[in-house]
Amino acid sequence: MLIDLFKASPIHQTSSNEFETKVLDFINEWFSESKTVKIMSSGSTGIPKIFDIEKSKMLNSAEMTCDFLDLKEGNSALLCLPIEYISGKMMVVRSISRKLKLKIAPISLNPLENTNEDTDFCAMTPLQVENSLEKIHLIKNLIIGGAAVSETLKSKISQTLKSSNSQTKIFETYGMSETLSHIALKQVFPNQQDWFKVFDGVDISLDERGCLKIFAPKLNSEVLQTNDLVEINDKKQFKFLGRIDNIINSGGAKIFPEELEKLVKKVIPNEVVFLGIEDEKLGQKLVLIIEGEESQSINHQLSTINYKKSFHKPKEIIFVEQIPRTPNGKVNRLELKKLITN
């Protein structure tokens, strides 16, 4: 389905499936007299919540992204994320705000499977990108959110696009439901950046724990306190280190699982998660969970990893068929911990 959002008015089109119906319902809700719409949080760090968001603030967020990516009126956008969450809703709002032509693809792990058309703008999860590598050159501006972009995926993106001489620009996002999608981007391709760059109108700082505080009055009137440990550079850039509630305390040593996951993903392509499992001697025992089947090849690759600290080496490695994820694709650490401890 293609929706031309040049005219700011309700849409009267016939849908061919449930997803298209939900998208049209949201567009018509947007053009209703209500000043707010309902948003569902991802549930990646707890029970999903539903809350009301002002349309004016969503428009502010849309303008920030469209300006950053230099999207023009009449450009095309592809929606392939669930409309229930802020990620999907904001793709529609950006299209309304900038008067884009919105193409709706079926929700799948390979949203580009049935298209050969060029698209100016799209947002995907890392898993969707992984399954769309052969066609991502069709997208001019691609943003990746919902989970961190692994080193393995970055390498695959670079190899794929360099061989196609693509002009595609790809960015990793940082944000949450409360910031109405992302407030910062860092480039993955053609340049691989280490620091997220925050949008104009967004101020960042650290609390006493070293966790990120966000003040974006155009998006949220409150100062947002995160549990994300970061390093700040010149107040407009930051580097994500890990979530403070994911920190593992093993024998008195504090371990950031995200840093170790990044290291391991440079060596093997599988999804991996480090968890701290209760242990009488250590307090928490460092465990590495790997998605997929154990093999000699993987075990050999794991043996080549050079951990900076001796306590960074996992005490146990567990292979699971599938790592639990939230509905929008994020690793669900709470469910994973239940899975391997029950």
Quick: pLDDT tens for 294-312: 999 999 999 999 999 999 9
The DSSP bridge partners found for residue 203 are 215
Q: Which helix (H) or strand (E) holds 212?
A: strand 211-215
Residue-wise pLDDT tens digits, 47-76: 667 878 999 999 999 999 999 999 999 999
pLDDT at 9: 60
Q: What's the number of CA atoms in the CB half-sphere (13 Å) around residue 327?
A: 16
pLDDT at 138: 95
Question: Tokens 């580097």 label which residue?
Answer: 239
Which class is 2-200 in CATH? alpha beta
pLDDT at 149: 87
Residue-wise pLDDT tens digits, 155-211: 899 999 987 778 899 999 999 888 888 999 999 999 999 999 999 999 999 999 999
List, as one string, the DSSP characters of 101-168: EEEEPPSSS-TTTT----EEEEEE-HHHHHTTGGGGGGEEEEEE-SSPPPHHHHHHHHHHHHHTT---
Look up residue 294 and give its two tokens: 């154990």
The DSSP bridge partners found for residue 239 are 231
How many whole angstroms separate alpha carbon 165 and alpha carbon 158?
10
Residues of the chain with CATH 3.40.50.12780: 2-200
Residue 46 confidence (pLDDT) above 60 = no
Residues of the chain with CATH 3.30.300.30: 247-341
Q: Is 204 exposed, middle or buried (0-12, 13-18, 19+ CB in 10 A)?
A: buried
Give the helix, strand, coil percentages of the chain, each rounded to 5: 30, 30, 40
Which class is 247-341 in CATH? alpha beta
How many whole angstroms separate alpha carbon 149 and alpha carbon 317?
22
Q: In the predicted model, what is the mean pLDDT of residues 72-87?
A: 93
Look up residue 150 and give its two tokens: 């692994």
How many whole angstroms separate alpha carbon 194 and alpha carbon 239?
7
Look up residue 311 and give its two tokens: 């306590």
Residue 42 confidence (pLDDT) above 70 = no
Q: In the predicted model, what is the mean pLDDT of residues 35-44?
A: 75
How many whole angstroms separate alpha carbon 25 and alpha carbon 10?
9
Q: Encode 210-234: b = buried (16+ Cβ within 10 Å), e = exposed.
A: ebbebebebbbeeebebebbbebee
Neighbour order of strands in the sheet with 272-279:
272-279, 283-291, 316-320
For 112-116, 262-266, 324-328, which range has the lowest pLDDT when averaged over its residues? Answer: 324-328
pLDDT at 166: 82
